[in-house]
Structure formats: structure tokens, C-alpha cells
Amino acid sequence: MTRINLIVQGLLLSLLVACASNNTPELDKKFGQAVRSTMEAQVINPNGTSTKDPVTTIDAAAAVSAQQGYQDSFKAPPKTFEVFGGGR
């Protein structure tokens, strides 16, 4: 190996060792907290799956319409548009 190759490999190895050190324990403890917080904020009733009580916050017509729209969404894919087409 040439001297340049050894120097480059040594520098790359030094960079890898520096990146591998555990010098961010405070950040590591909070990793993913934003995603968990957002998911928790979207749940109205965290214990909703443990109860068998019927849902009383939506009227029957709205529930039927929502369910029908959901079922119809599988019959035909939604219309799409071309993002990169030059407006043609």
C-alpha cells in the first residue's frame, strides 16, 4: 500500500471511531419522543378498546355515510394527477 492510502484509511478509521462514540446520551433518551407524543395526541380515548360500550358521539346517518365511503374507496382507485408533467 502506498503511504497516501494508509493516511486516508487512518483518517477514515478515526472518523468512524469518533462517530461511534456514545457522546449524546441526553439526545438518545429522547429519540422518537416527538413521534410518540404526536401519536398519543391523536387518540381521543386511550382505553377505548377495552370497553364494549357503543359509540354515541356520531349519529347513524354520518356513520353509515363514512363506512360507505370507506368501502367505495376500494372499488375504484382515487383519481391521480401528474406532478411533473409541465402542466399538460
Q: 27-75, pLDDT tens digit by residue?
A: 778 889 999 999 989 888 788 788 887 777 888 899 999 999 999 888 8
pLDDT at 21: 65
Show the cell assigned to 11.
Answer: 483518517
